[in-house]
Homo-oligomer: A and B are copies of this chain.
Amino acid sequence: MAKLTMVEAINLALKQEMERDPAVVVLGEDVGKSGGVFRVTQGLFERFGDGRVVDTPLSESAIVGVSIGMAAYGFRPVAEIQFEGFVYGAMEQLISHASRIRTRSRGRYHCPLVVRMPYGGGIRAPEHHSESNEALLVHTPGLKVVAPSTPYEAKGLLVSAVRDPDPVIFMEPKRVYRAIKEEVPEEEYSIPLGQCRIATEGKDVTLIAWGAMLQPTLKAAALMGERGIGSEVIDLRTLSPLDDDTIIESVKKTKRAVIIHEAPRTCGLGAELIARINEKALLYLEAPVERVTGFDTVMPLPKLEQHYLPNAERVVEAIDRVLSF
């Protein structure tokens, strides 16, 4: 089995899904001849041609808008937003139409659309190139939101996203794009949406993370392991809809939890996870659930970004706090 980066794994998933289903088309800025600014769509233009891999004019709103129309007509567009920090222009099309056309039309139309977007910090990029705004999308009824953490996960989840009958926001942790390699089967497989993954089992504390935050979280777990503390690391994978059962079961077992995300703290997805733990496992808790997150400030430019992004040390400190509460 080949060892692939996440970029290669996503590329492979796209290629295979396009081969399988002629309704799948890829569109966005620079996805064609150039193969995407991160090379995620490399080779697709040469293989499938200009009709199925389309460079568009510069407009995130229209990229999503036309995709909705294509989806209603029977296509399965996979649209790329070049960086998650540019998705705001497309919010109206996402919130007012993509997420709603099924319910508005009482099922007459639906919107099998995937919106891929690289998100998150840590690559020393300019402003707006390091955002993590999953909470805005999770708060929107009618959207599914997915964030893979490894190459294997990315391929399997993207296959499910492409085949899903509803709009799926597929958030790709750009910091992971080439940072890790992993065995990824050439053969078809898929990972169902709506289910977390237990990345490591443990009995002392539950750590919940997704996307690029898995790596520092696993590192923190390993550091704690050296001190004899067992961490159960949950890779959330699907951010909406949430898989409460796995989370709650884990927290009932460990009685302590730390949630790690890059996004600003207030009204981030961490808050929702705490709310659900509060609602379903309050009496099991031995300590307040901790959040290790970005600050309630704008994500800084590269010279300060390392202060903003959660790292293994901060996770370890939080684990210490929940253990010593």
| B267:A272 contact, CB within 8 angstroms | yes
Of chain B, the residue at the smallest CB distance from A100 is B298
- Contact indicator per residue, chain A 249-291, by CB within 8 Å of chain B (1) or not (0): 0000000000000011011111110110111101001011111
Q: What separation, in Å, do the CA atoms of A99 and B88 have in the docked complex? A: 13
Least CB distance, A277 to chain B, in whole angstroms: 8
Least CB distance, A133 to chain B, in whole angstroms: 8
| B128:A266 contact, CB within 8 angstroms | no
Least CB distance, A166 to chain B, in whole angstroms: 13
Q: What separation, in Å, do the CA atoms of A297 and B241 have in the docked complex? A: 12
Q: What separation, in Å, do the CA atoms of A85 and B95 have in the docked complex? A: 9
Q: Which of B95, B136, B142, B287 contacts A139 (CB 8 A)?
A: B136
| B240:A99 contact, CB within 8 angstroms | no
Of chain B, the residue at the smallest CB distance from A294 is B141
Q: Which of B86, B242, B296 contacts A266 (CB 8 A)?
A: B242
Q: What separation, in Å, do the CA atoms of A282 and B23 have in the docked complex? A: 51
Q: What separation, in Å, do the CA atoms of A291 and B276 have in the docked complex? A: 10
21 contacts between A and B (CB under 8 A): A86-B92, A96-B128, A104-B127, A135-B135, A135-B267, A136-B139, A138-B266, A139-B267, A141-B296, A142-B297, A267-B272, A271-B271, A274-B275, A274-B278, A275-B275, A277-B278, A279-B288, A279-B289, A279-B291, A280-B288, A282-B285
